[in-house]
Amino acid sequence: MHRKHILLAALILCLAVPVQARAKSSLPVFTDLAERAGRAVVNISTVKVVEQQKNPLIRQAPIPEGHPFREFFDQFDKFFGQQPNRPHKERSLGSGFIITPDGYIVTNNHVIQDADKVTIRLREGGPTHEAKIIGRDPETDLALIKIDVDQDLPVLEFGDSDDAKVGEWVVAIGNPFGLGHTVTAGIISAKGRIIGAGPFDNFIQTDASINPGNSGGPLIDMDGKVIGINTAIIPSGEGLGFAIPSSGAKAIIEQLKSGKTIQRGWLGVSIRGLSETDAKALGMKEPAGALVASVFEGDPADQAGVKQGDVIIAVNGKDVADNAELLRKIATLKPGDKARLTIWRGGRKLTRTVTLGERTTASAAQARPGKPQTASVMGMQVRPVANRQEAKALGLKKAEGLVIVDIDPSSTASEEGLRQGDVIMQANQKPVNSASELESIVKGSKSRGAVMFLLKRQGQNIFIALPIDK
């Protein structure tokens, strides 16, 4: 009996070992990838000469003779005040990766911006080379630099970030905190992140450890291809690193390499996103696309017949999720290209073909939307009715009044039956067309203790009085 137990235990052990081996072998191994890819990752150090700030303690006017502190300040000037303002050097560190055997290197614009000298170290303990700045694109935070070498250098190739999926393994290589060649691994946590870094935010988020000094280094997939350029972190968060997708970076790098000025397409409109209430008001099934807030007279969109209140839902047959995606899609096209826009107008789809102009700093500033005229009043978030198209959808003859875009469910307004999509036409028998007008009326009605609202709801007039907390 004892012998049978021994044989059974041995059999179980034999069965268990392959299971453990399989579990162990399923984990990724990064040794070969780190060695191969790491050869093309470089350390970047920069020097910038800046003027010394004037010492705020230095006197701007002389102390008169006989002043009780004259002797003290004379001694102070002797040791501090009379020193000339000498320039000093500021140094910074970053990363980059080689893309051609003859020494072209990709990095972030913010790594080399305003630098008077850029030095490249090929590997830890390896030789250094002074680099020349070939081109920069501040709007996407990309830069291309070059070193002159007498041998072919190892390179990294771009992959397709569009094919990368959330949950896939990735490796980041760089020089965090100036510690030299460092490899970290993680997964793609999210795609299409907007963090407010620039007009074309579309970052890959990863939990592979990224720190100051990693900027400009590559984010690599398991095939050894660069799918992102490590760019940003959130200092207060852990496991939150962001990389510029390779799909958008490749074309920009090619333009910089050929010595061309970066050119981007321009529609000539200002746009904003859609809320669920907007979509309902416009008869759309979901809030997808970009609402045209204004069309600039004489610009490409105006010439093609795009109108204020249109919703652009696709470009060249590809759906547009929101205003940020529309901006990116148009920016990837060049001036003179034709863009076929699918537009939602009056409850149906239309097509307009636009010959794009060129996006400039001035035109981008013109298109930047101003602060919306919204306010939270008595638990309601309100804004003016945008245009005739929205007015028609809300049952109005023209664009007037304030539409309720959100409402606090615990507010008196909600308890008394006001809803999202209601349009406030009057308050205490006075027309209201701006949030500031409504705020003023409510403030002036505190002595009465209530405000009478005239609402328009699906074409019907409704009066509702709301009490005011004195």
CA distance 141 to 143: 7
Is 141 annotated as belonging to a binding site?
Answer: yes
Is 214 annotated as belonging to a binding site?
Answer: yes
141 is annotated as an active-site residue: yes
Q: Are 377 and 441 in contact (CB under 8 A)?
A: no
Q: What is the Cβ-side half-sphere exposure of residue 393, based on CA atoms within 13 angstroms? A: 23
Find the helix or strand (DSSP H, E) in which 358 lies: strand 357-358
Give the E-state strand segments of 65-216 in sequence order.
88-98, 104-108, 117-121, 128-130, 132-137, 142-146, 169-174, 182-193, 203-206
315 backbone φψ class: left, alpha, beta (φ>0; ψ -120 to 50):
beta
Those residues whose C-beta lies under 8 Å from the C-beta of residue 392, and which sit 6 or more positions away, are 346
- Catalytic residue among 215, 246, 247, 270, which? 215
Is 213 annotated as belonging to a binding site?
Answer: yes
Q: Are 107 and 96 in contact (CB under 8 A)?
A: yes
- Catalytic residue among 45, 92, 95, 110, which? 110
Residue 246 phi, psi (nearest 5): -65, -30
Length of the chain: 470
Q: Are 401 and 368 in contact (CB under 8 A)?
A: no
CA distance 348 to 114: 51
Cα–Cα distances (Å) from 376 to 285, 379, 394, 405, 443, in that order, read 27, 6, 21, 10, 13
Report the amino acid identity of residue 5: H
CA distance 30 to 35: 8
337 is annotated as an active-site residue: no
- Catalytic residue among 95, 129, 141, 310, which? 141
∠ CA 245-249-255, nearest 5°, is 175
110 is annotated as an active-site residue: yes
Is 85 annotated as belonging to a binding site?
Answer: no
Task: Cite the annotated binding site for substrate by residue number.
Answer: 110, 141, 213-215
Q: Active-site residue numbers?
A: 110, 141, 215
Task: Cite the annotated binding site by residue number.
Answer: 110, 141, 213-215
